[in-house]
Amino acid sequence: MLKEFIWQIRVYYEDTDAGEVVFYANYLKFMERARTEWLRKIGFDHKILKEKYKLLFAVKNLTIDYIKPGHLDDLLTVTSKLLESRKASLTFGQNIKNENNELLSEAKVKVACINSKTLKASPMPDELILELTNDN
């Protein structure tokens, strides 16, 4: 499958610790924002998913490796690849690199699709799966 989405973000002071190094939890925020922007780009932002389809996404599982630190004012590139699509879940491979193309972190994130009322697993709309896997 391996369709990918690339998104950039600048590291601001609020993203760093006292040493002006990106705080470890913020890598997860950057990855979340990249997945959200991917959905927005293909016409399935979270508001539409909730209002039209009564669906939410929740992280079910993730593993992350921190390789090198990011720093204040770095321009980071977050690459998200769809590794697996199931009826009610998506698995992404994500990595973050700096402007020198150095790998800072990489993660595997499984996201469950859930009903917004019951908070139980729910199938994704076929249109969403088609958009995420379509190479056009």
Q: Angle at Cα 36 formed by Cα 6 and Cα 125, nearest 5°?
A: 110
Domain count, the chain: 1
The active-site residue, picked from 15, 17, 45, 73, is 17
Q: Assess whether 65 carries a catalytic annotation.
A: no
What is the chain's pLDDT, residue by residue, as a tens digit (136 residues)?
458 999 999 999 999 999 999 999 999 999 999 999 999 999 999 999 999 999 999 999 999 999 999 999 999 999 999 999 999 999 999 999 999 999 999 999 999 999 999 999 999 999 998 888 876 5
Q: For residue 109, what pLDDT is reported?
A: 98
Q: For residue 1, what pLDDT is reported?
A: 46
Q: Give me the CATH number covering residue 129.
A: 3.10.129.10
Among the listed residues 35, 47, 27, the one whose alpha carbon sits nearest the alpha carbon of residue 7: 35
DSSP label at 15? G
Judge contact between 85 and 78, C-beta under 8 A.
no
Range of the domain at 96: 3-133
Judge contact between 96 and 77, C-beta under 8 A.
yes
Q: For residue 136, what pLDDT is reported?
A: 52
